[in-house]
Structure 1
Amino acid sequence: MRKLSLAATCLAAAAFCSGAARAEDTTLTIESWRTDDIAIWQDKIIPAFEKTHPGITVRFSPTAPTEYNAALNAKLDAGSAGDLITCRPFDASLALYDKHQIVSLNDLPGIDDFSSVAKAAWTTDDGKTTFCVPMASVIHGFIYNADIFAELGLSEPKTNDEFFKLLEAIKTDGRYVPMALGTVDQWEAATMGYQNIGPTYWKGEDGRLALVAGKQKLTDEGWVEPYRVLKRWSDYLGDGYKAQTYPDSQNLFTLGRAAIFPAGSWEIGLFSQQAQFKLGAFPPPVASAGDTCYISDHPDIGLGLNATSKNAEAARTFLSWVASEEFATLYSNALPGFFALSKHQAKLDNELAKKFLSWRNDCQSTIRSTYAIVSRGTPNLENETWNASANVLNGVEPPETAAKRLQDGLDRWYKPAK
């Protein structure tokens, strides 16, 4: 009887212990706008974390990019958002921190493995509080069909004159659209157009910070000239570009019908999979030979902690892992063209990604001019820049008029002296 009783006690204890272990298992949910990354998170990133962190399960729950901000804000207000919040750079995420919906990560193990520049997109204006772990940046430039270049005897342009001679040569040949870019969705006209070539003219961070400080205006030459250059692009975008969506442009290029794609490095993964030709890339051409090269090396994505998460400890464990060298290497290779921002040197496998990253050695880096501080009011400068860039490309608004409209809108609410 004593033996049976002891056995029963042990079995009961085992059941209790097993139940307790199950009860302690934690499931974390990540909110994100990266719907195209589902397979990568589910097949590579999450399994790598769960392998070394038993007891923590991670679920990736994305929302369509155009719906993410509104959906996330509604979930946060209702208290139903996930534990981990994928952070857009600068003002959108700062607003979440100011509303106490995401928390300070100053004491997070691993946060010191990021430079102040890397953390800038997710740090308060006074530089004292970082509220998201930086995950990756993207670099702007031009991706081209190297087979077409070889066929036509073309080489990568260094200057603006060389760039337009190149476009003219492709147009004259007549078999290919020189550049794949449409204006229906507007954002790409600004992001891959104006923000791609603009830093060359407003001198990168010097110009951007001068605009923020009120020492420069959008009507100054350094800000108007990129619109004049952008207007010239319209001669090389092919018939129907005004009715062309972003996916249309991607298809036009990957099917081999266009020679050049004004791009961000985020295209590398998709293009590497879909294009049946060799890919090349070149940075934004300089205005004149000998000028300093500038690239938009833009912090794109971070990860923060929901202030109301019931799984904060497990969530912080995941965030510390995101700050690790393992994550930097895994993420940079799983998503070629998204470059880790930590001090860890991730070894890249993709040759085109290596090419983009090499420009950091030769060019000065800056961020998109509309993302920090100057788009906090109404009208929103970021969204207005989309519209202005598309209008200039469509020929319905002269560069000078577009620049004046943007500055007038900024003047309505932005008082940098205060």
Structure 2
Amino acid sequence: MKQSKTLKVSAAALTVAALLAGCGSKDNSSGGSSESSDSVTLSMTFAESLFAGVHEDLIKEFQSKHPTIKVKAETLPDGVIYDSLRTKISTGEMPDLYQINIGHVTTDMANKGGYIYDLSSLESSKNYADSIRKATTLDGKTALFSLGVGVMGFAYDKKAFAEAGYAAPPKTWDELLDLGKKLKAKGKDLLVYSSKWETGIANVFHWTFGAKAAADDAFKKAYLSNSLDFSKPENRALVEEGFKRFKELNQYVRTGSFTNEYSVAQQAFANGDAAMLMGGTWEAGALRKLAPNMDLGFMNLPYSAEDKNPYIFVPEDGIAINAKSKNVEAAKTFLNWLFSKDTYAKIQETKGTFSAQTGVGKLDESYAEVPKWLETNRVVSFANTGPIPSATWVALGNAAQEYTFKDDLNKAVDKFIAEYDKTKQK
């Protein structure tokens, strides 16, 4: 099954330009929809981290302006949101509004089930740059309004790094492992991440594949089209390399990361239990709320030499409308308001995310270097699971876990390749 279209590198440049253009103020809450005089209750399902906790205040504000429309929010742990949505899709019990990611297999399921409403006619669609609209288009439909765009990487505690002898982030893989060793001697973990977040466990492999894609156009084309031939020794060797790197890094990963919810990983980082947190440029607001006194930084994974290392560009999750809902008009009114420039600016400020809307938002200071990253020719753009279907990506992470504990490299690699070949585009 072919995944959704991947982002183009130009999206990064347009997004940065939009971010630096200044804040907008137009409220598009009424455009593209009409409000009925009858009372309506909208159901909305999303992961607890998506709005960084500001959703309750926003819903109250909306309802004060639109008293005939009530919004009932169902928040779920990040680790189960997509499992829950797949169940809802299969049973036909979909909410009026729901969270999706343009590159996730769940989105393809929702689209095939007829649950994706085309948002292009909504006034707030105009708030997004053309590149972002294209990146969130599925079968000709604007599938979602994204909460942000961003770059995968690692929030880090500058003080913890400095105390271990690193005034700046490690620039090589060996330096990263050296930092892990020094922190471990002080009783601190290098890294915490969330593997219960469905695709989180294998995120190191974005750099494994990304480094190769940044240097090899033929590989990049095959990777992004889900048509890699792992019978080629060089491609198999690449997976082996990723597994070995994964195992090396896990010497210094906080115990429990394989079963962490995202919020648990964030809290462990904020508590000072680990010096780094795997994530991206969409969580500074949440981290500053959890650890207001931390000198927060953000770094790329030093997988390859600095002048060859890739930057992993991704679209953030967003909200879609159920096309089969009986309350589509009310849902349009709410979504238009929620993603008007004024309201979106409040969300963006709370989350500290990379803005997805033209002229809206302020970049968190910890992300100050990121725009420069996006000016290089080493940006590899794809959604969270990339062109590899999410079930196969999860299998990759599970196989890497097994290798970490059982040390059978060939068996682990064979497991991933077998899963990949099931969905490979011929």
Q: Which bin holds the TM-score, normalised by the shorter protein?
A: 0.7 to 0.9
Task: Tell me the equivalent position of 2:334.
Answer: 318
Aligned-pair CA distance for 1:74: 4.8
Aligned partner of 2:189 among 177, 180, 192 = 177
Using a 3 Å threshold, how does the CA distance of structure 1 residues 128 and 250 change in structure 2: closer, same or farther?
closer
The structure whose Rg is larger is: 1
Q: Distance in 1 between matches of 2:216 and 2:343?
A: 29
Paired residue secondary structure (1:331): helix
Give ranges in structure 2 of 5+ residues lacking alignment: 1-34
Aligned partner of 1:96 among 106, 110, 115 = 110
Task: Tell me the equivalent position of 1:402.
Answer: 412
Task: Tell me the equivalent position of 2:152.
Answer: 140
Alpha carbons 2:269, 2:276 under 8 Å: kept: yes
The answer to whether residue 324 in structure 2 is matched with residue 308 in structure 1 is yes
Give ranges in structure 1 of 5+ residues lacking alignment: 1-20
List aligned pairs for 1:135-284, cutoff 5 A: 135-154=147-166, 155-171=168-184, 173-181=185-193, 187-191=199-203, 193-195=204-206, 198-203=209-214, 207=219, 209-213=221-225, 216-217=228-229, 219-237=235-253, 240=255, 245-246=260-261, 249-275=265-291, 276-284=293-301
Task: Tell me the equivalent position of 2:357.
Answer: 342
Q: What is the TM-score of this pair, normalised by structure 2? A: 0.75
Aligned-pair CA distance for 1:384: 0.5
Paired residue secondary structure (1:85): strand
The answer to whether residue 142 in structure 2 is matched with residue 130 in structure 1 is yes
Q: Distance in 2 between matches of 1:281 and 1:208?
A: 26
Aligned-pair CA distance for 1:214: 5.5
Task: Tell me the equivalent position of 2:11.
Answer: none
The answer to whether residue 328 in structure 2 is matched with residue 328 in structure 1 is no
Aligned-pair CA distance for 1:30: 1.6
Using a 3 Å threshold, how does the CA distance of structure 1 residues 397 and 273 change in structure 2: closer, same or farther?
farther
Alpha carbons 1:113, 1:342 under 8 Å: kept: yes
Using a 3 Å threshold, how does the CA distance of structure 1 residues 397 and 267 change in structure 2: closer, same or farther?
farther
Task: Tell me the equivalent position of 1:11.
Answer: none
Aligned-pair CA distance for 1:284: 1.8
Aligned-pair CA distance for 1:215: 5.2
Aligned-pair CA distance for 1:195: 2.8
Q: Distance in 1 between matches of 2:88 and 2:205?
A: 34
Aligned-residue identity in percent: 20
Alpha carbons 2:298, 2:367 under 8 Å: kept: no
Aligned-pair CA distance for 1:40: 1.0
**How many aligned residue pairs are there?**
382
Give a deviation string over 1:287-316, Cα, whole Å, max 9, x none. 12422x422232231222212322222222
The answer to whether residue 101 in structure 2 is matched with residue 84 in structure 1 is no
Alpha carbons 2:180, 2:252 under 8 Å: kept: yes
Q: Distance in 2 between matches of 1:386 and 1:167?
A: 21
Aligned-pair CA distance for 1:370: 3.4
The higher relative CO (CA closer than 8 Å, separation ≥ 6) is in 2
Paired residue secondary structure (2:120): coil
Aligned partner of 1:382 among 388, 393, 400 = 393
Using a 3 Å threshold, how does the CA distance of structure 1 residues 324 and 295 change in structure 2: closer, same or farther?
farther
Paired residue secondary structure (1:200): helix
Alpha carbons 2:151, 2:280 under 8 Å: kept: yes
Alpha carbons 2:117, 2:141 under 8 Å: kept: no
- Specify which structure has the higher proportion of helix: 1
Using a 3 Å threshold, how does the CA distance of structure 1 residues 274 and 34 change in structure 2: closer, same or farther?
closer
Alpha carbons 1:157, 1:163 under 8 Å: kept: yes
Using a 3 Å threshold, how does the CA distance of structure 1 residues 160 and 335 change in structure 2: closer, same or farther?
same
Give a deviation string over 1:160-190, Cα, whole Å, max 9, x none. 343233334434x434333335878885331
Opposite residue 278 of structure 1, the aligned amino acid is D
Aligned-pair CA distance for 1:41: 0.4
Using a 3 Å threshold, how does the CA distance of structure 1 residues 289 and 325 change in structure 2: closer, same or farther?
same
Q: Distance in 1 between matches of 2:49 and 2:142?
A: 26
Q: Distance in 1 between matches of 2:214 and 2:251?
A: 26
Using a 3 Å threshold, how does the CA distance of structure 1 residues 197 and 324 change in structure 2: closer, same or farther?
farther
Using a 3 Å threshold, how does the CA distance of structure 1 residues 92 and 370 change in structure 2: closer, same or farther?
same
Alpha carbons 2:37, 2:68 under 8 Å: kept: no
Using a 3 Å threshold, how does the CA distance of structure 1 residues 227 and 101 change in structure 2: closer, same or farther?
same
Q: What is the TM-score of this pair, normalised by structure 1? A: 0.76
Task: Tell me the equivalent position of 2:70.
Answer: 57
Give a deviation string over 1:185-241, Cα, whole Å, max 9, x none. 8853313x3335642343299555422435533534444433332222133336x56
